[in-house]
Structure 1
Amino acid sequence: MVIDDHFDAARMLRMVLEEGGHRVRVEWDPFRVLARAAEEDIDVFLLDIGLPGMDGNELAQTIRAIPRAASATLVAVTGRGKEYGRAAALAAGFDHYFVKPANLGELLALLSEIAPRSRPG
């Protein structure tokens, strides 16, 4: 799932990831993300840090508290590398940290290494 309040950036990242063979959902609202995280099996969250209503660090901590999403991989993809630092993001529960414009080759390589979580049933 791509979470970014910059609509064009979110759509562009979605297109790149889909071209790389990934199934992608996009959300712009952190509260919708939390609702979906509780209802759906999501392997990876690509989160912008500077979100309205709830910043990405708080969103990451909240996602980690949702049993269904607790083991998902959280990747910060932020344009605010200096304001919101890597250390704060990792402390908030992110597994990886990219500053925009993210190196898409590195991001795709990272995603190719993440095994889908097993699904019940």
Structure 2
Amino acid sequence: MNTIDGARDGAADARRVLLVDDSVDAAQAMSMLLETLGHDVRMLHDAAGALAIVDAFQPEVVILDIGLPVMDGCELARLLRARPSTRDALLLALTGYGGDADRQRALDAGFDHHLVKPVSFTDLEDLIARSFGPDRTRNV
């Protein structure tokens, strides 16, 4: 539950969040916002870095940019779904690609949700909270 100033009342809703975006500024801003809400955030800028830490960090939420260099977010999502440490994580595509085909490609790769940049931070936090609540909302 949030307080009036936006900070969390407690750590009950805090999640381990892996944020992967090659836009350093965007990733830093998102990371800081997620941390102010109590989440434990690891920020990386490429798929190789993400793959190097997922087994030890075991993120509950993974927010991936689709347009990553070398290995795109869809391929990374497929690899994360194949790992025991991230098989059941909430995977969120956060991308500039907003067409119907882009959305379907993301969902086919294993993402639970496809979000188009810029995304409302309030909407993102609500989506994370709903995804772990009693009425889990996944793959929409």
The residue number in structure 2 matching 1:118 is none
CA radius of gyration, larger in:
2
**1:57 paired to 2:74:** yes
Q: Report runs of 4+ in structure 1 exceeding 3 Å deviation.
A: none
Please tell me whether residue 10 in structure 1 is matched to residue 27 in structure 2. yes
| Corresponding position: 1:109 with 2:126 | yes
Is 1:68–2:85 an aligned residue pair?
yes
Provide the identity percentage.
Answer: 43
> What is the number of residues matched between the two proteins?
116
Equivalent in the alignment of 1:21: 38
Q: Is 1:74–1:94's contact at 8 Å kept on the other side of the alignment?
A: yes
Q: AA paired with 2:70?
A: G
- Asked if 2 retains the 8 angstrom alpha-carbon contact of 1:75 and 1:95, the reply is yes
Computed over aligned residues only, the root mean square deviation of the Cα atoms, in angstroms, reads: 1.8
Q: Give me the TM-score of the superposition, normalised by structure 1.
A: 0.88
State the TM-score, normalized to the length of structure 2.
Answer: 0.77
What amino acid is the match of 1:37?
Answer: V
User: 1:72-94 CA deviation, whole Å, 9 max, x = no partner?
Assistant: 11000001223961111000000
Distance in 2 separating the partners of 1:99 and 1:69? 23
Unaligned runs of 5+ in 2: 1-17, 133-140
> 5+ unaligned residues in a row in structure 1: which ranges?
116-121
Residue 71 (structure 1) shift: 0.8
